[in-house]
Amino acid sequence: MKKATPSEGKRIPVIPRFVYLLFLLLALILVLVLDTINRDNGGTSLFSLSSNEQKKGLSSQEELQEIIFKSLYLHGITVHNIQQYKDRNNILHLKVDFPYSKYSLLEHKLEEKLKEENSSLLKKIEQQAEGKNFYLWEVEAKDGQNLVILFSCAKERSETFERGKAPARGLKRTKVAFIIDDMGYSLEDLKKIISLKKPVTVSILPSSPYAKETALIAHENGLEVMLHLPLESVNSKNNKNRGGYILSGMSTEEIQRTLEESLQIPYIKGVNNHQGSKITTDETLMRIILEPLKKRNLYFIDSLTTSSSIAFRLAQEMGIRSARRYIFLDSTVNEEYIERMMEDLFVKAQQRNNMVVICHPFQETMQVLKEKVHSVEENNLELVFASQIVR
């Protein structure tokens, strides 16, 4: 008897193997996506480690960073709005840009979350500007590691003063540039400088705890930013690099690397030396320092911490826009002394074309500036940024 065979037109189609693999792959992707969404919403994850297991490999600073990032994400703030870096003390700094209207919503929620995680809010400083409000938080993690957050909250922008505008009338005025050194340790000091509403140049120490935050806030408030570069003095110990100092015993590569690290502060227009009575008398070392400044088109101000300094002369020879300090306003920290120096400035400036004045954010100095700086124009002087006085 002949076996029945299926007709050729009724063959069962064979599904290619790659189709099965494609369906499996799509199913796996779907499961992973759903698993990720569930984990982000606080649920348990099938394929990832539990949150406790994940945290075992993280430092408390990294855990804290993760908590902050999640809180920001819930308020619609993505990684594109966050900048981060670690300073020389391994402290993590975050800068978060977002609209001013979102800050009040975020502030309370984030504070509550930090308390839940046994983290301490050590400091909270507000700095209001015309175009932005800044809120600096210093947070301590469980193990004592610190983390600094600068919330930069944009609002309608307008200028705090007309930058570098020449006097509308009267005689030609002597240009005077006030440089305030040693900045970066206190945003309260910066607030006092901003409140003067004058074109003042702030010079920031690279190893200071709020170096970049100071630069950002100063720039947003219409001030000029300089690097206050630490150089070895005759009394310095030269056996190690402390706080970003450039030392005479360094190789060319070490000097260039230290300088490059210091120049990471944003919005720098120029450089002046912090101390440096040993380095600024050495032409070889100063040439190594000045060459990168020339390439970056940065100006240089010789703080003239020693009368033997060759830094200004060398900068001029190298074609670098430069100037040198004429008066130290507060070499003696006493209000009466500082007032006398201001009066001396008013007299001596009449015989000069321009003048660089260096001072510091001492309480006594800021009080005298608050009282006297507005009378500068009355003495036929024009306040300008340091960049407007170099030649």
Query: How far is the C-alpha of 353 from the C-alpha of 244, rounded, in Å?
Result: 35
Q: With bands split at pLDDT 50, 70 and 90, how would you rate the model's confidence at 12?
A: low
Task: Give 286-345 pLDDT, tens digit per residue.
Answer: 999 999 999 999 999 999 999 999 999 999 999 999 999 999 999 999 999 999 999 888
- State the virtual CA torsion across 256, 261, 265, 271 in degrees, nearest 10: -30
- In a domain, residue 244? The reply is yes
Neighbours of 120 (CB within 10 A): 14
- In a domain, residue 81? The reply is yes
Q: How would DSSP label each residue in 111-149?
A: HHHHHHTT-EEEEEEEEE-SSEEEEEEEEE-TTS-EEEE
- In a domain, residue 33? The reply is no
170 vs 369, higher pLDDT? 369
Task: Give 100-117 pLDDT, tens digit per residue.
Answer: 878 878 888 888 888 888
Residues 6+ apart with CB under 8 A from 385: 163, 164, 177, 199, 200, 201, 224, 269
- In a domain, residue 23? The reply is no
Min mean pLDDT across 8-17, 118-127, 219-228, 266-275 is at 8-17
Type of residue at 75: H
CB 289 within 8 A of CB 263: no
pLDDT of residue 19: 64
Query: How far is the C-alpha of 56 from the C-alpha of 365, rounded, in Å?
Result: 50
Most confident range, picked from 70-74, 239-243, 373-377, 386-390:
386-390
pLDDT of residue 167: 43
- In a domain, residue 337? The reply is yes
User: Does one domain contain both 199 and 135?
Assistant: no
113 CB burial (10 A radius; 0-12, 13-18, 19+): middle
Last residue of a domain, one of 124, 154, 184: 154
Percent over 90 (pLDDT), the chain: 53
User: Does one domain contain both 256 and 377?
Assistant: yes
User: Does one domain contain both 289 and 216?
Assistant: yes
pLDDT tops 70 at residue 163: no
pLDDT of residue 223: 97
Q: How would DSSP label each residue in 226-271?
A: EEEEEE--TTS--SS--TT-B-TT--HHHHHHHHHHHTTSTTEEEE
CB 168 within 8 A of CB 256: no
User: Does one domain contain both 68 and 198?
Assistant: no
- In a domain, residue 74? The reply is yes
β-pairing, 92-99 vs 82-86, is: antiparallel
Indicate the SS3 state at residue 302. Answer: strand
- In a domain, residue 15? The reply is no
pLDDT of residue 335: 95
Neighbours of 116 (CB within 10 A): 9
CB 145 within 8 A of CB 138: no
Residue with tokens 């400036």: 349
Neighbours of 95 (CB within 10 A): 19
Task: Give 48-83 pLDDT, tens digit per residue.
Answer: 444 444 445 567 778 888 888 888 888 888 888 899
pLDDT of residue 262: 97
Q: Which domain holds residue 338?
A: 174-388
- In a domain, residue 10? The reply is no
User: Does one domain contain both 246 and 353?
Assistant: yes
Indicate the SS3 state at residue 274. Answer: strand
User: Does one domain contain both 316 and 204?
Assistant: yes
CB 231 within 8 A of CB 245: yes
The alpha-carbon radius of gyration of the chain (Å, integer) is 30
pLDDT of residue 162: 46
Q: What CATH number did the domain enclosing 241 receive?
A: 3.20.20.370
CB 367 within 8 A of CB 335: yes
Axis crossing angle, helix 283-295 with helix 252-262, rounded to the nearest 10? 40
User: Does one domain contain both 375 and 232?
Assistant: yes
Neighbours of 207 (CB within 10 A): 20
pLDDT of residue 159: 41
Query: How far is the C-alpha of 112 from the C-alpha of 338, rounded, in Å?
Result: 46
Task: Give 181-216 pLDDT, tens digit per residue.
Answer: 999 999 999 999 999 999 999 999 999 999 999 999
User: Does one domain contain both 236 and 373?
Assistant: yes
User: Does one domain contain both 331 and 293?
Assistant: yes
Q: How many Cα atoms occupy the beta-carbon half-sphere of 388 within 13 Å?
A: 19
User: Does one domain contain both 199 and 300?
Assistant: yes
Structural domain count of the chain: 2
User: Does one domain contain both 108 and 179?
Assistant: no
User: Does one domain contain both 70 and 208?
Assistant: no
pLDDT of residue 207: 93
CB 318 within 8 A of CB 387: no
Runs of H (alpha helix) within the chain: 17-40, 51-55, 60-74, 100-116, 187-195, 211-220, 252-262, 283-295, 311-317, 335-348, 363-372
